[in-house]
Chains A and B, each alone.
Chain A
Amino acid sequence: MEYNFKVPCSKNKLIEIRDFLYRVLHENDIPDIISNTLVLAVDEVCANLIIHSHHCNPNEQIELKVRVEKGKEIVFDIIDHGDGFDISDYKEPSLSDIVKQGKKGGIGLMLVKRIMDDIELIQGKNKNIYRLHKKI
């Protein structure tokens, strides 16, 4: 099964993204505690793109595609247009440094890496696909 969703790049659309994901995961009988972490990981990538790549410009959009292969894996594609951010280049900061500096950000991608089994960035002409894999 494949599911699609498209939203403008606005932070207050994150809740709609999560509702869409919860519906898809619930429909595919994914247990609550797992679906909550998967929703969280996708939410983190979307929030990063909306805020850092698109500067909350509601005239730009991000698109989500979810493919569920029952008993095998779920693949989440988050698609945007613009400069891509290679998540595999991301160097994980240490938690104690973040605490010491009193920073509020910097842990979103850490969560994504811990939750998902594999993360890839597929770049085309002015198009980026952030692909997150989770075995089920």
Chain B
Amino acid sequence: MVEIKNTIEDDIITIHVIGEVDASSSIYLDESIKEATDKYKKVLVNCEDLEYISSAGLGVFMSYINDLEEKDIKMVIYGLSDKVHHVFQILGLDQLLKITDNRDEAKRIVNGV
């Protein structure tokens, strides 16, 4: 089960992903990223409360890489636990996506400072 909460602060939208993203719940992550990237150029994904991710969830993030580049949208993932971060590392996705430790750093990246 996953719960997703969006918050908006100035021109930045934050997608807070809570719980587990697997083959049954990845669609909700997909919908929120789609909605966020339709309207915003600066997107933060708060994964502090993401307990598990499978390939279905990783696939959602991957499927936006091209889109983000084409539309000049900045998306940064932050707050991954060690075990979840390790899952991104197995396939080298940590090299393809922007991932940082904390919110402050993530904000600096989307603001280009």
Contact for B56 among A18, A36, A47, CB less than 8 A: A47
Q: Are B92 and A95 in contact (CB under 8 A)?
A: yes
For residue A115, which residues in chain B have a CB less than 8 angstroms away from its CB? Answer: 90
Q: How far is the CB of B63 from chain A (nearest CB, A)?
A: 5
A33: Cβ under 8 A from any B Cβ: yes
A12: Cβ under 8 A from any B Cβ: yes
- With A and B bound together, what is the CA distance between A28 and B90 in angstroms? 24
B87: Cβ under 8 A from any A Cβ: yes
- With A and B bound together, what is the CA distance between A1 and B23 in angstroms? 29
Determine chain A's interface SS by DSSP, over half rule: helix
How big is chain A's contact interface, by range? Answer: 20 to 34
Contact for B87 among A40, A98, A105, CB less than 8 A: A40
* Chain B residue total in the interface (Cβ 8 A): 29
Determine chain B's interface SS by DSSP, over half rule: helix
Q: How far is the CB of A38 from chain B (nearest CB, A)?
A: 11
Q: Are B87 and A104 in contact (CB under 8 A)?
A: no
B111: Cβ under 8 A from any A Cβ: no
For residue A7, which residues in chain B have a CB less than 8 angstroms away from its CB? Answer: none
Contact for B55 among A44, A99, A100, CB less than 8 A: A44
For residue B38, which residues in chain A have a CB less than 8 angstroms away from its CB? Answer: none
- With A and B bound together, what is the CA distance between A95 and B82 in angstroms? 23
Q: Are A108 and B55 in contact (CB under 8 A)?
A: yes
Q: Residue on B with the closest CB to A32? A: B83
A91: Cβ under 8 A from any B Cβ: no
B residues contacting A by CB (< 8 A) are 1, 20, 22-24, 26, 30, 52, 54-56, 58-60, 62-67, 82-83, 86-87, 90-93, 96
Can you list 16 A-B contacts with CB-CB less than 8 angstroms, sorted by A residue number?
A11-B22, A18-B20, A36-B86, A37-B86, A37-B87, A40-B52, A40-B87, A47-B22, A47-B55, A98-B62, A102-B63, A103-B59, A103-B63, A104-B56, A107-B62, A115-B90
